[in-house]
Chain A
Amino acid sequence: MPFTRINSKMVEARIVPGQRMFSQRGAMLAYRGEVSFTPNITSGQGGVMSMIGRRLANEAAPLMTVEGDGSVMFGHGGHHIHAVDLSGETLYVEADRLLAFDGALRQGTMFMGSQGGVMGVIRGQATGQGLFTTTLQGKGSVAVMAHGGVVELPITPRRPVHVDPQAYVAHRGDVRNKLTTALGWREMVGRGSGEGFQLELSGQGTVYVQASEEKL
């Protein structure tokens, strides 16, 4: 079920019997009908092994399962919300940025090293995102939180995009990401530009960038 945008900080989703949705705990602002909110121990689908995987990967955000028959309005902490509709491709996003997503999407964790090798690992450490990120794949909708509004930038094979790692929200598609450095001797003596690390995304897809350099 796609998310209806009410305003930049609030979305509404229709909950249909038989389908479930996962959302961050405490993110419900109001609801109609009969909807139940059950705290999720596994932080998503997949059972115990997936839960352990997520805990080890530090991608276990506190989630709740939303089921029933009605419609729910979601919002959290005044953060801006961006709804992404997936039709088969994969979305890569940090687990703590997820506001709500369709239960039908396949959720997994991805090791940063697999997309960028050693530099991918360093990217995770340098930007504080960690070694892993969460992947959502399939047909469904995802609501993602950002600090400040979100801009969508298309990535095409001939036009890679460079993003400040602190302004990066998520990306989708067949995209390779690489941490590039523009470090020189000036960074060593405290006169660096502050833009020493950049994220280069190439391939075919879209990257979502937030209008802020604060995580959330």
Chain B
Amino acid sequence: MTYPPPPAAPPTPSGGGPVVYDPATLPSNDNVNPYAFSVDLDGQWFLQKGKMIAYYGRIDFHAIGHGPLDRLVAANFHSPLYAADWVVAQGRGKMLLADRSYDINSYDLADGNLTIRSGNLLAYQPGLALKQSIIPGFLTLIGTGKFVAASNGAVHFVEPPIRVDPQALVGWADCPSPCHHYDHSYMRGVLGGLRGLTGIGGASGEEHQFEFTGAGQVLLQSTEVLMGERGSGAVPAQAGPGVPGAGAGG
């Protein structure tokens, strides 16, 4: 897996004000800033619902299983559990992706595999196939292509052997899936027994980690707080406050 290159420098404004982009100057498959990513769409991309914030060009968004792209879907999307959360973006243009101002980055897989938390994956190219991992809550991407993931804080790559706080884990590539590691060493011995019986001293909060071995890469986020849960895409009438014409919800 290749590490994402630093984002290209944006066009500097002459007046010293905010940067203004147009379809030609928006980055092509690169970060606009740490919290937004610009996809140069020419064909199809798989996308999680609710993660597109703006686009230029002619792009159609088809739900999985309900449109003319069923053959594409059959080859690249194998996750019945999450089918309701994903759409296919088809067309030509520049599409901006973001998720609640979490850090966003793109990664390339070359005949590789990656298992990632389902909430952290935003979009991927059809060269990759999406499957459900046997570990609940995780998706596996296999193949060659680019994908975009969000995380709470910047992503850091580490190599096994390593033990990771369960809430700081984003995903892993190539190495076997982790096992649980429990650490109650402070509860051993006479003093430990007293701690256990009386509860004095409390717990360290580090009693449980995921343990990785083998050869591969592990993706960590810079905090032990998971990204918030969020229901994916609602119909326009319930688009929420602040949306003109949203009917009863507006």
Interface residues of A (CB under 8 A from B): 6-10, 25-32, 36-41, 62, 64, 73, 75-78
Contacts and interface: CB of A to CB of B under 8 A. Distances in A.
B201 A39 contact: yes
Given A6-B156, A30-B158, A41-B200, A64 B224 contact: no
A37 B220 contact: no
A78 B152 contact: yes
Contact of B206 (A26, A41, A62): A26
A33 B24 CA distance: 50
A174 B55 CA distance: 56
A38 B185 contact: yes
A26 B162 CA distance: 17
Secondary structure dominating the interface of A: strand
B202 A39 contact: yes
A9 B183 contact: no
Interface stretch (B82-90, B92-100, B131-139, B163-171): B163-171
B246 to A, nearest CB: 32
B80 to A, nearest CB: 33
Please provide the 8 A-B residue pairs with the shortest distance between their CB atoms, ordered closest to farther. A26-B205, A9-B222, A78-B223, A37-B206, A38-B186, A41-B201, A29-B168, A30-B164
Contact of B153 (A27, A39, A75): A75
A77 B223 contact: yes
Specify the main secondary structure of chain B where it touches its partner.
loop
Contacts, number: 92
B225 interface: yes
Q: Which of B153, B164, B202, B203 has the most CB of A within 10 A?
A: B153
Given A36-B185, A37-B183, A78 B201 contact: no
Contacts of A7: 153-154, 156, 222
14 contacts: A6-B222, A7-B222, A10-B153, A27-B224, A29-B222, A30-B165, A36-B185, A37-B186, A38-B204, A39-B202, A41-B200, A62-B202, A76-B223, A77-B225
Interface residues of B, number: 29
B161 interface: yes
Given A7-B156, A39-B202, A76-B223, 16 more contacts: A26-B224, A30-B162, A30-B164, A30-B168, A30-B218, A30-B220, A31-B209, A32-B162, A36-B183, A39-B201, A39-B203, A75-B153, A75-B168, A77-B223, A77-B224, A77-B225
Contacts of B186: 36-39
Interface string B172-195: 000000000001011000000001
A76 B221 CA distance: 11
Contacts of A26: 204-206, 224
A92 B248 CA distance: 55
B221 to A, nearest CB: 8
A43 to B, nearest CB: 11
Contacts of A64: 204-206
A37 B209 CA distance: 12
A176 to B, nearest CB: 36
A77 B224 CA distance: 6
Given A9-B154, A28-B165, A75-B168, A37 B204 contact: yes
Contact of B205 (A10, A25, A41, A75): A25
B204 A25 contact: yes
Nearest to B168: A29
Contacts of B222: 6-10, 29, 75, 78
A69 to B, nearest CB: 13
